[in-house]
Structure 1
């Protein structure tokens, strides 16, 4: 391990443990772990076999002298530690959202460029096998020239999930930060990243959530929903961010002579009836991906005018990391490419702070724009 790149991870929850495992699988050495709470970071570091742990990020940077930092905290806590890491000359692997605003994301992007450090931005569901398959089929002309894309998801999240970072804009919450980032990355991985126009609206249809102590791992938050929501001693926090969005975009792609129309529709609190899906339509066919991130079965509509489920190509299947969970698989692929790139091995382009900055700017624009035009009224 003497020549292995050294990684310092900031975050002790689901993402922190997932990032640590991904970098170890990529051949890097996880040398330290930082978290907010001393007892928690010590327990997680011991369980993961990480030699150093701390609640002080600057001290950890000085003590560990990492080549790479992995930022696995909620988005509102990304700005300061990334800025400090860049000042130390570290390469930065950051989960989405990049920050809580386009302005701070832009600043970090410029700082990284000036410092000459590499960055990776983990809007990473573009790496699921079915999305990779779809990208290959579209490039190979399986749908002709792309014309439009439809991204539909309905999560039916429990309204009683305890109040936390996901309810607060300033902490990196909201469905645009935590759903749209992945879906946009999926679409651009297939069509290209030249987004030329967009319009959209957001809606906070939650209002409030119960305040409950003890929630540490984001994936376990449902376990903390209070048994009695009518308890008069229960405190409530107010949501200030969107739980649903509708966004339209146009993407200029080398695969078509005209821009492709894209619809992104997400309801965080509404139930689904049919499958969530992502569909790529073209002049001679279509590709339908089951699931909100298109990670399910792929179906092709071709010249015979019928839908057919297609098997996953063997080379894509064999390239997937042997780990449980789609999220974890995608982290492993991105970390693998990031490490290889830092070491000088040619890799396929991956999302960086360039995309992270653009996504935060788009999110700001959608949240603050007024796309509506007055409708003609009946007499």
Structure 2
């Protein structure tokens, strides 16, 4: 493509606004934005200087004729707009989760293949600078052959966060969709993309959440927590998704003779005592990344058998987009790769609907909770 790619955004919240800024930074032209509420989409379009605003996605596709569509709505609302865009030949950038079910995600992936369009799946925290640094070190043999990975996080989220899409399976809610997708992408980017086996357990330890009107932006939902939770007029919604999970996986790695074991442990509603972290263990050492997505300092356990912080290499630091917020930086990085690919430039492999559909099918399997062996009657 010789001209500047034209981008149409679906969604007006935190993700939609973030995607718009990311694509502009990547050199694309954001020609329109679509949302559910006229007043909201008009306000966002005016503030971001986006020329077209609307509430009818199909009409927007016809009016804007985009080369790329960016899907930034809740996961349960992705099916129809993605299908319509692909059938018009648009390339698709989609935030996670890709869909509300593995079957729907697989159908979207296969549709994209049939129409020969490019896709990007924004499980994008693999692009934090520290994860990129860890990937380089592991590939260079700094820890020998990788043998084990540990991903631990506890968010202590407020139970009173207003009821919304994140509480509903049909809308793409749940911690697997909104945390596991990122950590799985991080681990596969460092160790290897081939997932051999998984097993897991999930738990909905929330129950209910207050229903509050006027929440349009996921990033500001905490400000809508009711002051009086005992108010008898307050309505409550029932959660039907997991807020905690434990997953075990085995990954094939070109860097190791045997499959790599991975533990993913996340508690959405419980407090942390020590730091959240991601650790890559190998036959000759280990790499510790501070933070639930490993975006903090990197420490290496090497031949001297002590932990030591390793500074970020200048060339990796130079690739970090100069924007505030780790989420936004990662969107910018992926959008840059995607736009370059659409233009026909050579790029490193990035997550696509292939990964998104597999992740969604894996989530469906984990949610079945069918991995237990009853030992209650053992002698």
TM-score normalised to structure 1 length: 0.99
Confirm or deny that 1:69 pairs with 2:69.
Answer: yes
**1:3 Cα deviation from its structure 2 partner:** 2.3
2:206 corresponds in structure 1 to: 206
Distance (Å, rounded) in 2 between the aligned partners of 1:193 and 1:321: 25
- 2:146 paired with 1:138: no
SS at match of 1:36: coil
Once the two structures are superposed, residues 239-297 of structure 1 have per-residue CA deviations (whole angstroms, 9 ceiling, x without a partner) of 00000000000001110000000000000000001000000000010000000000000
1:207-226 correspondence runs (5 A): 207-226=207-226
Q: Report how far residue 368 of structure 1 moved.
A: 1.4
Within 5 A, what are the aligned runs for 1:323-342? Answer: 323-342=323-342
Per the alignment, residue 31 of structure 1 pairs with: 31
Task: Identify the residue that residue 88 of structure 1 maps to in structure 2.
Answer: 88
Q: Could you say which residue in structure 2 is the equivalent of 1:43?
A: 43
Structure 2: tracts of 5 or more residues without a match: none
Note the alpha carbon deviations across 1:166-224, whole angstroms, 9 max, x for none: 00000000000000000000000001111111100100000000000011110111101
Matched with 2:119 is: 119
Residue in structure 1 matched with residue 191 of structure 2 by the alignment? 191
SS at match of 2:356: helix
Deviations 1:23-49 (A, max 9, x none): 001110000000000000000000010
- How far apart are the structure 2 equivalents of 1:156 and 1:209? 15
1: CA distance between counterparts of 2:12 and 2:144? Answer: 46
Runs of 4+ residues over 3 Å off in structure 1: 376-379
Q: How many residues align?
A: 378
Matching of residues 44-59 of structure 1 within 5 Å: 44-59=44-59
Q: Corresponding residue for 1:303?
A: 303
Match of 2:367 in 1: 367
Distance 2:376 2:303 in 1: 42
Rounded to whole Å, the distance in 2 between the matches of 1:378 and 1:321 is: 57
Q: What TM-score does the superposition give when structure 2 sets the normalisation length? A: 0.99
Equivalent position of 2:16 in the other structure: 16
Tell me, in whole angstroms, the C-alpha distance in 2 between the residues paired with 1:47 and 1:230: 38
Distance (whole Å) between structure 1 residues aligned to residue 175 and residue 46 of structure 2: 34
CA distance in 2, matches of 1:374, 1:111: 41
* Alpha-carbon displacement from aligned partner over 1:103-148 (angstroms, at most 9, x marks no partner): 0000000000000000000000000000000000000000000010
